[in-house]
Amino acid sequence: MSATGRSGVPLVVHVVHALRMGGLENGLVNLVNRTPVGRYRHAIVCMTRHDRFAQRIERPDVELFALDKRAGKDPGAYLRLWRLLRRLRPDIVHTRNLAAVDAHVPAFLAGVPGRIHGEHGRDMVDLHGSNRRYRVLRRALRPLIHQWVPLSADLERYVRDAIGVSARRITRICNGVDLARFRPDAAARSQLRAEAGWPDDTLVLGWVGRMEPVKNPLGLVEAFDSLRRAGADADGRLRLAMIGDGGQRDAVAAAIDAAGLGDRVWRPGARDNVPALLAGFDVFVLPSLAEGVSNTILEALACGVPVVATDVGGNRDLVGEEGCGSVVPADDTAALAEALRARVDEPDGLSVACAAARRRAEREFGIDGMVAAYLDLYDRVLAAGRGARATATERTGIV
């Protein structure tokens, strides 16, 4: 019997590698918080662990579990997951990305009737989706997964063409942004500059993310230094704000010091007031080597901040062609610096780009649309599962 049988409200168990600051995790928490009470219940299972980011979960009825999976092969973690699923008896298990896809084996063995897998983006281990081992793994698990959810057109092509998933089992759902929380804020500009110790007329290029190789923070430091050396900062107003933490924190600090940029780059670490920080940027920069659908691009657009991003994943689709941003080749420092210079050399055009950014976010990327799409998907998977059980009952006569 599923959890629906006990409470009348279907239970979705979300399985992720970890719950910490990141785009995937941010989208999950937004979905959980925005689901109408009585429509679906949620539980979150971290294969490894969670940190204080979990405090963003607002609903008191959401259970959170950490399985403390060891790096590499850890059969015990999957046994613990199977036992947990047998106890929770969810109606749906929803995994996300490569690190959680093999959770569908214990989900299948535990008898979970609805199984969904989301492809949110790639990491350094498989930047272009060409790793044969990971393709084979996904293909092997394909029969166990009822619906695949790629977030971008690029990932949809990968799931369809490289993994061989039929179109009827693919539902593309773009991330959404909270337009009330992320919005233009005139006061944020002065607040950011005051906190960073910069003059009020400073022109700020900003980045928010994890300081990990796939996000390419070192490339951003190099592009900023190149921009400055090329004479784009003749009046001394240009600065860089890098918001976030991660494994490359010390390497980023060393690169900044080596370039003599210590007084021009602000690194406050991971912060909880991201909406106010984003709204204080003049240009948002995303130098990633791989992405799915970037939450930070959506948040920047909602804050009315133009974007310069690398042409990976769904970035081009998000930025569009309406003057609210531009994309450049990945891992091309010169092209990134040139695109940034085009923005800072035309400050009068920034206000036009800002207005275009907000309009695009309002028209296409509201969070309510994202939540509605996921709930519709859950409804369809739930109905299909009930139909399959009814058919099996008719064939066997077993209730």
Both tokens assigned to 134: 């990971």
* Residue whose structure tokens are 């928010």: 208
Cross-strand pairs, 12: 42, 92
CB neighbours of residue 235 within 10 Å: 8
The residue among 398, 388, 395, 381 whose CA lies nearest residue 11 is 381
The alpha carbon of 111 is separated from its chain's Cα centroid by a whole number of angstroms, namely 29
How far, in Å, CA of 121 to CA of 96, rounded?
9
Cβ neighbours of residue 140 closer than 8 Å, sequence gap 6 or more: none
CB neighbours of residue 342 within 10 Å: 13
Q: Sheet harboring 238-243: ordered strands across?
A: 265-269, 238-243, 203-208, 283-286, 307-310, 325-328
Q: Please give the pLDDT value at position 203.
A: 94
| Helix-helix angle 249-258:217-229, to 10 degrees | 10
pLDDT in tens, 92-112: 999 999 999 999 999 999 999
The alpha carbon of 348 is separated from its chain's Cα centroid by a whole number of angstroms, namely 32
Any idea where the domains of the chain sit in the sequence? Answer: 3-176+366-396, 186-364
How far, in Å, CA of 300 to CA of 280, rounded?
10
Ordered DSSP codes for 363-382: HH-BHHHHHHHHHHHHHHHH
Cβ neighbours of residue 290 closer than 8 Å, sequence gap 6 or more: 121, 122, 123, 124, 127, 128, 214, 312, 313, 330
CB neighbours of residue 290 within 10 Å: 21
CATH architecture entry for 3-176+366-396: 3-Layer(aba) Sandwich (3.40)
pLDDT in tens, 2-49: 555 456 899 999 999 999 888 889 899 999 999 999 999 999 999 999
pTM (predicted TM-score): 0.83
Q: With a cut of 50, list the residues of the chain below it in pLDDT.
A: 1, 5, 390-396, 398-399
Contact by Cβ (8 Å): 206, 278: yes
Q: Please give the pLDDT value at position 104.
A: 98
Cα 145-148-150 angle, rounded to 5 deg: 155
Cα 100-17-167 angle, rounded to 5 deg: 35
- The domain over range 186-364 is classified in CATH as 3.40.50.2000: yes
Both tokens assigned to 307: 């974007």
At 220, the amino acid letter reads L
Both tokens assigned to 149: 């959810």
Q: Please give the pLDDT value at position 7.
A: 64
